[in-house]
Structure 1
Amino acid sequence: MRILLTNDDGIHAPGLDVLEAIARQFSDDVWVVAPAEEQSGAGHSLTLGRPVRLRQFGERRFAVSGTPTDAVMMALRKVLPGKPDVVLSGVNRGANLGDDVTYSGTVSAAIEGALAGIPAIALSQVYEKEGMGDSVPFSAAEAWGAKVVGPLLQAPFAPRTVINVNFPPVAAADVHGIRVVRQGFHDYARGSVVEGTDPRGYQYYWFGLHGIEHTPGHATDLEAIQDGYISVTPLQLDLTHDASLAALAGRFAG
């Protein structure tokens, strides 16, 4: 089995080492192609206005001077000797839950694999507070990663779908189990914009993270993480709202 690993935290991110350890429990044919620098929040963006450069860091280990999408495209078209059997993206430092998946470079890297017809899984480690940097604990992902990925590798993937996995911000021993759940939606008003002044006296703004809302009575990824479970959510890339097709078509009929 050939496995392609990527992320949005960059080639030197601790979570990528965690992901590689997980992947090597299933195969020795593991390739790493990741952004050279952190690309959190890059979404499914593609670099078009400047050249993308490729740098090799070791056998089957490469960095790309671009986005997570760039990294997967370069892996599939220039680096790997053949098509991988699966794309694993992560393990991200921080949650990719609810509607935040639309911003996520981690999820978008998996999406690029899915668009190429390859089963793809995004993995993220939730943490409790801001400002932790590289001290984010990955114990839940380390202990449970193979337990989640193993069954998924045996599962059939519908075309143009990805699996989004989030590990809760608890010690491995405190994880209650695994839930397959729907994507939730955050309360948009909970986002924050942090305002400050730089050393030269100019004002700046920094987008802050928001907390995870509990959604009682709803089987969503937000609730699963809040309850100490690993969330597993299948996402589809077809964004068409089928229920609106007929009504909109009627607006333009004869």
Structure 2
Amino acid sequence: MNILIANDDGVFAPGIQALASALKPLGRVVIVAPEAERSGFSSALTLDRPLKPVQIAPDVWAVNGTPADCVYLSMNGLFDFEFDLVVSGINSGANLGDDVLYSGTVGAAFEGRLMKQPAIAVSLAGPNVRAYEHPADYAAAANWVYQFIANGLPAVPARHILNVNIPDAAELKGMKITYQGRRRQSKPITSLVDPRGRQVFWIGLAGEAVAEPKPGLGGIESDFFAVANGYVSVTPIQMDATNYDILNDLHAHYVQKV
């Protein structure tokens, strides 16, 4: 199996190094990742300048672009072989609920959505997204990912990925299949004046998780619930954002006006 690993924390991030080490027993593992942190880039592609992949070690490449750039290049000519699986991560911090709209980790996985196997986004979820100083935190999460893949990945439809969030816990209680939760409105922006008298802004922090049971799901909980209670959250998410529940009604409404 040829496995492509990308991330949004940069090619030297501890999460991607731990993941590559853990997955090597499964086959050939190739890292193609941004040369520096590119968090929050979602599925952005670089179209205004050339990309320059640089091999910095055997099967390790750094790219002056976004996480999605890394996967796009890898699947479209950078190599003379095909990949069977894309794994993005391990991200430093959770990607839960609405976070997936912004996440470069998820964006890289979505770029690999046409793989023979499901593409996977993996994040290490803890109370402080920059508190992971110990390699053991990532090693434990990487080992869980290895076992998850080695035991056989679940079948999901094309153009779907699996969004995995692993709690930073001394002992995991297990795994839950979850739905994508949502957050309350983001915190207000912070306005400051820089030393030259210019007004600058900091984007506000993400809002708190909303506890909202989903009817008709047979007791399936949200990704937020699973992680908060010590379970690994595995959520199938898709590219197609069409709301089919209202599609026909909306179509009929406007057809009548024509």
Question: By the TM > 0.5 criterion, same fold?
Answer: yes
Matched residue SS, 1:25: helix
Matched residue SS, 1:107: helix
Can you list the C-alpha shifts for 1:26-84, whole angstroms capped at 9, x where unaligned?
A: 22x11111111111000011111111111111111111111111111111112222211
Unaligned runs of 5+ in 1: none
Deviates more, 1:96-105 or 1:193-202: 193-202
What aligned pairs does 1:74-113 form with structure 2 within 5 A after superposition? 74-113=73-112
Q: State the percentage of identical aligned residues.
A: 37
What is the distance in 1 between the residues matched to 2:103 and 2:51? Answer: 20
- Which residue of the partner structure matches residue 220 of structure 1? 222
Report the count of equivalent residues. Answer: 249
Give, as a single letter, the amino acid of the residue that structure 2 aligns with 1:225.
V
| Maintained 8 Å contact 2:40/2:103 | yes
1:93/1:16 Cα in 2 relative to 1: closer, same or farther (>3 Å)?
same
- Which residue of the partner structure matches residue 125 of structure 2? 126
- Which residue of the partner structure matches residue 17 of structure 1? 17
Give, as a single letter, the amino acid of the residue that structure 2 aligns with 1:32.
I
What is the distance in 1 between the residues matched to 2:174 and 2:207? Answer: 22
| Maintained 8 Å contact 2:181/2:210 | no
Give, as a single letter, the amino acid of the residue that structure 2 aligns with 1:188.
Q
What is the distance in 2 between the residues matched to 1:133 and 1:175? Answer: 17
Unaligned runs of 5+ in 2: 215-220
| Maintained 8 Å contact 1:212/1:226 | no
Deviates more, 1:14-23 or 1:159-168: 14-23
| Maintained 8 Å contact 1:160/1:236 | yes
What is the distance in 2 between the residues matched to 1:212 and 1:47? Answer: 32
More helix, by proportion: 1
Deviates more, 1:57-66 or 1:204-213: 204-213
**Shift in Å, 1:204:** 2.4
Give, as a single letter, the amino acid of the residue that structure 2 aligns with 1:23.
L
What is the distance in 2 between the residues matched to 1:226 and 1:184? Answer: 12
| Maintained 8 Å contact 1:44/1:108 | yes
**Shift in Å, 1:124:** 0.3
TM-score of the pair, normalised by structure 2 = 0.87
**Shift in Å, 1:244:** 1.6
Give, as a single letter, the amino acid of the residue that structure 1 aligns with 2:125.
V
TM-score of the pair, normalised by structure 1 = 0.88
Verify: 1:73 aligned to 2:72, yes or no: yes
- The alignment's C-alpha RMSD in Å is 2.3
1:188/1:33 Cα in 2 relative to 1: closer, same or farther (>3 Å)?
same
Deviates more, 1:8-17 or 1:200-209: 200-209
- Which residue of the partner structure matches residue 202 of structure 1? 198
What aligned pairs does 1:141-152 form with structure 2 within 5 A after superposition? 141-151=141-151
1:59/1:139 Cα in 2 relative to 1: closer, same or farther (>3 Å)?
closer
Matched residue SS, 1:138: helix
| Maintained 8 Å contact 1:140/1:170 | no
1:117/1:194 Cα in 2 relative to 1: closer, same or farther (>3 Å)?
farther
- Which residue of the partner structure matches residue 39 of structure 1? 38
Matched residue SS, 2:26: coil
Can you list the C-alpha shifts for 1:206-229, whole angstroms capped at 9, x where unaligned?
A: 224447537375600000011111
What is the distance in 1 between the residues matched to 2:193 and 2:129? Answer: 20
| Maintained 8 Å contact 1:6/1:34 | yes
Matched residue SS, 1:110: helix
